[in-house]
Amino acid sequence: MAPVLGVPPPPPAPHMGPDGLILPRKPYNPCLISTNHKDLHRELLFNQKIGKNVLNQKSELQRALERHREAASRREAERIREENYKDDPRTALQRAIEQRARHIQLTQEQSQTTIEPSNNLLITARAKLRSRTESQ
């Protein structure tokens, strides 16, 4: 049977002693036999040596700083939004409805402009046919 990568070979048959008892043997370590495990362990050791954090785990301080930065950016965005709309008597719902209406209107205008060229082609083709039939 051919050896499969990453799978340890089956244990050898037990050796029998002269009195018919199985002789004790040291069990093999599958981690030492597996090439995949060796490669992974070698890579982890190298990354630890160069100081690279493989698991992307952050310290408590880094997480706290990120939360603080995100909260500050959210507050700043909210402040800017409030400054932009402080003189506007409309509510947020009214602004959202108007924005959707503008978007729908733009899409309808774009769809109408794409339909018109096909109509122009039909009109020009009919005009050419009429001129041909009238001349004959």
Q: Give the per-residue pLDDT at 5.
A: 66
User: Counting beta carbons within 10 angstroms of the beta carbon of residue 59, is it exposed (0 to 12), middle (13 to 18) or buried (19 or more)?
Assistant: exposed
Q: What pLDDT digit, counting tens, does each position of 5-48 carry? A: 666 667 677 788 888 888 888 877 877 778 888 899 999 899 88
Whether residue 65 sits in one domain with residue 102? yes
Whether residue 75 sits in one domain with residue 44? no
Q: Full-prediction pTM beyond 0.85?
A: no
Give residue 129's pLDDT band: very low, low, confident or very high (50, 70, 90).
Answer: confident
Whether residue 64 sits in one domain with residue 52? no
- Say if 18 falls within a structural domain: no
- Decide if 6 contacts 30 (C-beta within 8 A): no
Domain count, the chain: 2
Whether residue 66 sits in one domain with residue 43? no
